[in-house]
Structure 1
Amino acid sequence: MDGTIDRDGYIAFPREAWSKLRANTPLPLQDAELEKLRGLNEPISMADVEDVYLPLARLLNLHIQAARGLHATVLANFLGTPVPPAPYVIGIAGSVGVGKSTFARLLRAVLARWPTHPRVDLITTDGFLLPTAVLQARGLMERKGFPESYDQRRMLAFLAALKAGEPNLRVPIYSHKIYDIVPDRVDIVDRPDILVFEGLNVLQTIPSASVVASDFFDFSIYLDARTEDIEHWFIERFLLLQRSAFQDPSSYFHALRDLPEPDARARARGIWQRINLPNLVQNILPTRERARLILQKGATHTIDTVRLRNV
């Protein structure tokens, strides 16, 4: 083993050591597919897929096979009848701006190439945000992304129904363009082999709650980086959006389209420091060590270290 066990009970692998754990896992993506999956300011390369995603896909596949075998054997023996496996749920947590969405899309694409579990769905917790009108009525617009801005009851009901094997589950669709839930539109989740469930606070515990989202996870991943790096990425992404998505008249942020760059930087930094940084410090970062796997990014968005829980 080329990793070292740290004081928190994780095996820490430098990228080079982690990449060797790919073994003979084949490369499932082409350059054109990777280009479509990239985020705005995230220079992910095919080397990243080979070094990081393929060993992770191999690890997850081993976990999935073991979980299915245990489920089928134990329950079938106990109940005396075959029981279909529940969807395998992978939770992905991390800050705004750290690259969760791109990571989740790529992971889904890689996992879906395995012949034993071709049906992989991706759902983000954005769809469980309370509508803007509700947030405004409750004075929560400046708390968007904080735990209280989500319809927790609906989110937990979805995860419970998913694990129970219910078909055709309806999940609201969130639009970053209009900054709100899209009326009368839903995603349908119909008993996938794997569900990738991505969001800010998916690993959070709530003292007064009898059930939390992570109770339904089979595996959990935290995407980590230095706070200063995440702030820089957030600001740079804001500037890119100002030159692209904000130009659309239907964009919630259309009024900011012509801000001079210094003013746009100041606006983005203000949003970060007023909303996203407190949420990270108070609610997201404290959940990091609840994850089974922590992926540590460097300043260039590359994943440099992988920490795998050993206990």
Structure 2
Amino acid sequence: MVERAGDLRRIVIALAGAPGAGKSTLSEHLLAALPAGEAALVPMDGFHFDNAMLDAMGLRHRKGAPETFDCAGLVATLRRIRSGEGGVPVPVFDREADLSRAGAAIVPADARFVLVEGNYLLLDRAPWTELAPLFDLTIFIDVPIVELERRLLTRWTDLGRSEEAARAWVEGNDLPNARLVIESSRRADVVWSNFPQPSS
């Protein structure tokens, strides 16, 4: 990755995948592997619409679907970042509080590598296709739907939902979103399989 950057002042890398694929974990590993002080992270989840807005739009029950994100805001922020501008504020999603915190992180001027992680970064439909020219490298994290279901059920029960409520949310919202990501994303430069392979 460092070699691919060449003489570019800033390289923007997309880490895409379905809910539960392991995007946050991979992002943390990449941040640790890149030169100290030269990398920053922009989570797409920070661009969630607020719950009050989702209620007004009648979309609270679909939170996490493409239409529940401020895609235009993400595009505008990434354009600022690609320009080399320093001190670009980005929102961060607080999963426990279930809300986005505006300006909760900063992409500093000396961040040469900017990792952007999210479900729909490679989605091949408008308005998400506007993101395509903003990435220098794209990575898709591949996980079978059965494994995604297991991870997502664990996620929501760990966050305090009953098993029944977790299953209803996963089956009615998370898995449809996961299938959309898997079936409708553009091909990435790198596809990484993030699940145990059967032993021979």
TM-score normalised by length of structure 2? 0.89
Runs of 5+ in structure 1 lacking a partner?
1-59, 69-84, 243-255, 257-263, 305-311
Residue 63 of structure 1 is matched in structure 2 by 4
Structure 1 residue ranges, 4+ long, deviating more than 4 angstroms after superposition? none
Identity of aligned residues (%): 27
TM-score normalised by length of structure 1? 0.59
2:169 & 2:44 partners in 1: Cα distance? 20
1:289–1:102: structure 2 CA closer, same or farther, 3 Å change rule? Answer: same
SS, match of residue 175 in structure 2: helix
1:289 & 1:211 partners in 2: Cα distance? 9
1:57-136 mapped onto 2 (5 Å cutoff): 60-65=1-6, 68=7, 85-113=8-36, 118-136=37-55
Asked which structure has the greater CA Rg, the reply is 1
Q: Are 1:86 and 1:163, in contact at CA under 8 Å, matched by a contact in 2? A: no
| Alignment pair present for 1:149 and 2:71 | no
Residue 189 of structure 2 is matched in structure 1 by 292
AA matched with 1:87? R
Residue 36 of structure 1 is matched in structure 2 by none
2:18 & 2:129 partners in 1: Cα distance? 23
Q: Are 1:132 and 1:181, in contact at CA under 8 Å, matched by a contact in 2? A: no
Residue 269 of structure 1 is matched in structure 2 by 167
Q: Are 1:120 and 1:194, in contact at CA under 8 Å, matched by a contact in 2? A: yes
- Residue by residue over 1:120-168, the C-alpha shift from the partner in whole angstroms, topping out at 9 and shown as x without a partner, is 0011011111111111110111221211111111111111111111221
| Pairwise CA distance, 1:112 | 2.8
Aligned residues: 197
SS, match of residue 97 in structure 2: coil
Q: Are 1:96 and 1:200, in contact at CA under 8 Å, matched by a contact in 2? A: yes
1:297 & 1:189 partners in 2: Cα distance? 27
2:90 & 2:128 partners in 1: Cα distance? 23
Q: Are 1:288 and 1:294, in contact at CA under 8 Å, matched by a contact in 2? A: no
Bigger RCO of structures 1 and 2 (CA < 8 A, at least 6 apart): 2
Alpha-carbon RMSD across the aligned residues, in angstroms, is: 2.1
Residue 134 of structure 2 is matched in structure 1 by 216
1:100 & 1:215 partners in 2: Cα distance? 21
